[in-house]
Amino acid sequence: MFEYELETNLDREYECEFASEYESEEFLPFLVPLLAKAAPMAIKAIGGLIGGRRRNRQREFEFEYEGEYESQYESEYEGDPFIGNLLQGLGSAIGLGEGEYEYEYEFESEFESPSSSSSRSSSMSEYEMIMENLAYRAAHSESEAESEAFLGALVPMATRLIPSAAKAISAVAPQLIQGVAKMGRALYNSPSTRQLLQTVPEVLKGTVKTLAHQVAQGKPLSQKTAVRALAANTAKVLDNPKKVNTVMKKSHKVQHQLQPKINGKCRCA
């Protein structure tokens, strides 16, 4: 078993409160089936915001009964065609390296710029660090409602990362908040997927960049555009186990930067 799972006094020197098995290379094979379940769940939850009229009633029904009827609709999705295409494309990145993954959606090819694809800068802005901390708290909060509060706080933080487009993106902030809330609820429900909430900052950063690119091109931002961008970036992160692994490692490092005093040693990468 992995050392992170041992909670005996003998292993105290290796305990780290911020560590997660998801950042372990050995855990990757176990991460694949988990993401195969989590990614479509999260994307469908987001897609429910822009489903068709009939699906909206069904989604409301679903929402009202807290997912009691969700299993019936799991295999069939007849909502937004963009979301449908995303769901069909899931699984193509599993096993592939980063950069080999492509979605068939209008934003991706226009967005990919040389600087963004190769940027692995270790320096993070203050807002990014706070986002990582908020996402960590969301993943480890006592209740779903509290988790949602932390997730909701991520949206304005992400908006501030690109000041030039902040005003335009703020106009669709309520839809992004709803989308993040729905995704958060879907991932929080299961203890095995709860830790994936730590990937939400990465999802939101990508979403904001996508929307900023749209703004820079002079295209108007609509509610549907924002939700689709969020869904696409969710797929981009959650459908890629190596990306999840990298994001979790980064989150772990940031927690230590924000809270340098720890009780024991940490096996940091």
Of the chain, the end-to-end C-alpha distance in Å amounts to 18
Stretch of 17-25, 68-76, 87-95, 144-152 contacting another protein, by CB under 8 A: 144-152
For residues 32 and 38, is the Cβ–Cβ distance under 8 A?
no
What is the nearest approach in angstroms of another protein to the Cβ of residue 185? 6
Sign of the torsion formed by the C-alpha atoms of 152, 88, 193 and 80: positive
Judged by CB under 8 A, the chain residues 230 through 269 that form the site for another protein are 258
Q: Does 208 bind another protein (CB under 8 A)?
A: no
Cα-based torsion angle of the residue sequence 234, 239, 244, 246 in order, rounded to the nearest 10 degrees? -110
Question: Rounded to the nearest 5°, which phi and psi values hold at 141?
Answer: -80, 165
Nearest to 139 by CA among 251, 13, 253, 45: 251
Number of helical H runs and strand E runs in the chain: 14, 0
| Binding residue for another protein, selected from 139, 157, 187, 235, defined by CB under 8 A | 157
E-strand spans in 42-104?
Answer: none
Q: Does 153 bind another protein (CB under 8 A)?
A: yes
Q: Does 84 bind another protein (CB under 8 A)?
A: no
Q: Does 211 bind another protein (CB under 8 A)?
A: no
| Binding residue for another protein, selected from 33, 97, 174, 264, defined by CB under 8 A | 174
- The maximal CA–CA distance of the chain, rounded, in angstroms, is 60
Cβ neighbourhood burial of 119 (10 Å; 0-12, 13-18, 19+): exposed
What is the nearest approach in angstroms of another protein to the Cβ of residue 231? 17
Stretch of 69-77, 149-157, 190-198, 217-225 contacting another protein, by CB under 8 A: 149-157
DSSP assigned state of 190: S
For residues 150 and 204, is the Cβ–Cβ distance under 8 A?
no
Q: Does 180 bind another protein (CB under 8 A)?
A: yes
User: Looking at beta carbons only, is 176 or 196 nearer to another protein?
Assistant: 176
Q: Does 56 bind another protein (CB under 8 A)?
A: no
| Binding residue for another protein, selected from 38, 86, 93, 151, defined by CB under 8 A | 151
The size of the interface with another protein (CB under 8 A), counted in residues, is 31
For residues 158 and 172, is the Cβ–Cβ distance under 8 A?
no
Judged by CB under 8 A, the chain residues 98 through 137 that form the site for another protein are 126-127, 129-130, 133-134, 137
User: Looking at beta carbons only, is 31 or 131 nearer to another protein?
Assistant: 131
Binding site for another protein (CB under 8 A): 63, 126-127, 129-130, 133-134, 137, 144-146, 148-157, 170, 173-174, 177-178, 180-181, 184-185, 258
